[in-house]
Amino acid sequence: MRVLLTGGYGFIGSAVVRHLIENTRHDVLNIDSLTYAASPDAVADVAADSRYGFRQCDICDTAAVGRILDAYRPDAVMHLAAESHVDRSIDSAGVFMRTNIMGTFSMLEAVRAYWRELPPARRAAFRFHHVSTDEVFGMLGPHDPPFTEATPYNPSSPYSASKAASDHLVRAWHHTYGLPAFITNTTNNYGIWHFPEKLVPLTIINALEGRTLPVYGAGDNVRDWLFVSDHAEALVRAVEHGRPGGTYAIGARQPRTNLEVVRAICAVLDRLRPDPAGPHARLIRHVPDRPGHDFRYEIDPTHAERALGWTARHDFESGLELTVRWYIDHAPWWRAIRARQQASLPMGRVA
């Protein structure tokens, strides 16, 4: 397959690019506009491969995306480019509406124009894979059953509302125009090359630097944690086997409270990088909660596991150990980002 992938310099997109080049025979063309969240270094190990290419392009530029589609002639599009940080969506929602809603509309229109001109066999085999989040389902109470593909939409943050809108557009383009599109909705990811504004990398880095470890409220919000390379594998399975009109809810069955996550990171660091001043957990500080903070997300991945022949390889503890070791070994990468960020984002905001 020739895969055109959007957002391939991001946290998850770069994991998919690496997985496609290292573990499959597919070709991939990465299009990314290089926002603050882009890390070209994350694909440096595969960038010289003849099956990989890159074009700088804003997904909102329908004509430019159309020209790239006509030149590259992909068999599938994997759409990951988005604004992804909930705190930023609360501070400044406009760019989320532009990229996540209008950007997806732009991609659907460019892809529809390209797809409808394909020869019949290629048109039938073509796939548009929209990568989305479980946050579109809203929040669960402590005893609610986990989300499934049948859970109604009930988004509560500007970020999740913009992603929900984009999911609705994808379904409408499938239903109205027959575009062979499907959606994956996934839980919280963590792992290598994760931008240092999100909970896991922020906690690791702050702890390594002896800074305080901010935890929203009591820290009892629950997320289901999926290691990013496991997600990349699931997404590639989905683009290979996904059914037009389908939805796949992808999760790892690893629910943890935020406080459990932060304490687990402290415990790994106490082992790998003991601090003479005392256990890293002494740095934990509870900060005022995020407005509208959803209490719990958790996915029942049974349908996706069966349909895609996939299950997560890492439990939270093994994935976290790999992640912490990676951040210890890649300090120059995150130090450069932190230096750029100091001016723009107050430290201590967490995902």
Is 106 an interacting residue with respect to ligand NAD (CB under 6 A)?
Answer: no
Q: Is 135 a catalytic residue?
A: yes
Output 157 or 206, the one with its CB closest to ligand NAD: 157
CA–CA gap between residue 248 and residue 239 (Å, rounded): 11
Residue carrying structure tokens 């999926």? 226
CA–CA gap between residue 95 and residue 36 (Å, rounded): 12
Return the residue of 131, 169, 262, 350 that touches ligand NAD, per CB under 6 A. Answer: 131
- Pick the piece of the chain touching ligand NAD (CB under 6 A) from 46-54, 64-72, 127-135, 259-267: 127-135
Smallest gap from residue 281 Cβ to ligand NAD (A): 24
Write down the catalytic residue from 159, 216, 248, 297.
159
Output 6 or 283, the one with its CB closest to ligand NAD: 6
Among 150, 339, 140, 95, which residue's Cα sits nearest to residue 255? 140
Q: For residue 174, which phi and psi values (nearest 5 degrees)?
A: -70, -50
Collapsing DSSP to helix, strand or coil, 334 comes out as helix
Question: Do 241 and 308 contact (CB within 8 A), yes or no?
Answer: yes
Question: Do 295 and 141 contact (CB within 8 A), yes or no?
Answer: yes
Question: Do 300 and 148 contact (CB within 8 A), yes or no?
Answer: yes
Alpha helical stretches, state H, the chain = 11-23, 62-72, 86-91, 94-96, 103-115, 120-125, 158-177, 199-208, 228-241, 258-272, 302-308, 316-329, 331-341
The alpha carbon of residue 122 and the mean position of all alpha carbons in its chain are separated, in whole angstroms, by 29
Burial of 180 (0-12, 13-18, 19+ CB in 10 A): buried
Which parts of 318-347 interact with ligand NAD (CB under 6 A)? Answer: none
Is 86 an interacting residue with respect to ligand NAD (CB under 6 A)?
Answer: no
Return the residue of 5, 28, 69, 80 that touches ligand NAD, per CB under 6 A. Answer: 80
Write down the catalytic residue from 135, 167, 230, 305.
135
Which parts of 4-23 interact with ligand NAD (CB under 6 A)? Answer: 6-7, 9-13
Smallest gap from residue 50 Cβ to ligand NAD (A): 23
The alpha carbon of residue 305 and the mean position of all alpha carbons in its chain are separated, in whole angstroms, by 19
Write down the catalytic residue from 27, 32, 134, 167.
134
> How many CA atoms, within 13 angstroms, populate the side-chain half-sphere of residue 199?
26
Smallest gap from residue 293 Cβ to ligand NAD (A): 16
Other Cβ atoms within 10 Å of 92 Cβ, number: 11
In DSSP terms, 181 is beta-bridged to 128
DSSP 351: -
Q: Is 260 a catalytic residue?
A: no
- Pick the piece of the chain touching ligand NAD (CB under 6 A) from 3-11, 265-273, 316-324, 333-341: 3-11
Is 1 an interacting residue with respect to ligand NAD (CB under 6 A)?
Answer: no
Return the residue of 1, 47, 60, 113 that touches ligand NAD, per CB under 6 A. Answer: 60
Q: Is 52 a catalytic residue?
A: no
Encoded one letter per residue, x for contact with ligand NAD by CB under 6 A and - for no contact, window 158-197 reads -----x----------------------x-xx-----x--
Return the residue of 82, 238, 268, 269 that touches ligand NAD, per CB under 6 A. Answer: 82
The alpha carbon of residue 264 and the mean position of all alpha carbons in its chain are separated, in whole angstroms, by 22
Which parts of 193-232 interact with ligand NAD (CB under 6 A)? Answer: 195
Smallest gap from residue 99 Cβ to ligand NAD (A): 4
Output 54 or 295, the one with its CB closest to ligand NAD: 54
Output 131 or 161, the one with its CB closest to ligand NAD: 131
Positions touching ligand NAD (CB under 6 A) are: 6-7, 9-13, 32-35, 37-38, 58-60, 80-82, 84, 99, 103, 131-133, 163, 186, 188-189, 195
Positions annotated as catalytic residues are 134-135, 159
